[in-house]
Amino acid sequence: MKVKRHKIFSGTPWEPKVGYAAAVQVGDLVFVSGTTATDPLGKIVGAGDLYAQTVQAIKNIQSALERLGLTLDHEVRTRMYVTDISRWEEAGRARAPPSGALTHDIRLDIMTVKPISWLGDSRERVRGFPSEARAAAGFELWEVQQGKEPSDWKPMPSVGLGVREIRVRAGNAYRLIYVARFSEAVFVLHAFEKKSRKTSRIDLELARARFRALVQERRQR
């Protein structure tokens, strides 16, 4: 028996670019995609204010649910990702009802993720990857942001202490060199298409130079 799917789109500019919907109803279940503090035009709401950003994200979730004839009272689980776990109460306060008591059972997970810091032209290089490779690279970096291991990686001690290389295979071979041992962020040092069995000297030297500059900059803080 084929289960009917119903998709809800928010109209933000990223949906057609990335290929997702704000919410998808499958039978009796509704799955809401990752939601950020943006307005219908894709502009950030509450920049620098975690509470205001969380309120806006919840409003966006509520809007998607209402278009399916549901409310937040039908919600059974919320997972929030913050870059600074010490500020979790700001996000949690935005989720709590004014009365201070939930009217239904809900599971609330607040998790911390490291932000990505793109060094040099690394971000533009990843954006230049074919869509399949770009999507795979994004997924692997998301795993790293959560403190997990990417699915295919190797250490790069010749570049620097704690530096690793993510290996992406999508038709051709693509590489991301990064370091995640620092507390404040995951630093992407370099990204490139690998065209030979051995990583080119130019790519290695560029990654080394960016790593050295990063270490020096952190010492001067």
3-state helix, strand, coil in the chain (%, to 5): 35, 25, 40
Instruction: Please say whether the beta carbons of 56 and 37 come within 8 A.
Output: yes
Q: Which residues pair with 154 in a beta bridge?
A: 165
What's the average model confidence in pLDDT over 200-212?
96
Note the pLDDT tens digit of each residue in 27-70. 888 999 888 888 877 788 988 898 999 999 999 999 999 999 99
CA gyration radius, the chain = 20
The β-bridge relationship of strands 23-26 and 77-82 is unpaired
Query: Considering the chain, what percentage of its residues have pLDDT values greater than 90?
Result: 48
Distance CA(109)–CA(88), nearest Å, equals 10
Q: Residue 100 pLDDT more than 80? A: no
What's the average model confidence in pLDDT over 18-22?
83
Please name each of the domains of the chain with its CATH number: 5-112 (3.30.1330.40), 116-219 (3.30.2310.20)
Structure tokens at 33: 């995609």
Task: Enter the DSSP assignment of 78.
Answer: E
Instruction: Please say whether the beta carbons of 208 and 201 come within 8 A.
Output: no
Q: What is the pLDDT of residue 183?
A: 87
Instruction: Please say whether the beta carbons of 201 and 209 come within 8 A.
Output: no
Interhelix angle 50-66/88-95, rounded to 10 degrees, is: 40
Q: What is the pLDDT of residue 188?
A: 97
Query: In Å, how far are 10, 84, 103, 145, 218 from 90, measured between CA atoms?
Result: 25, 11, 21, 21, 28
pTM of the model: 0.61
Q: What is the pLDDT of residue 125?
A: 95
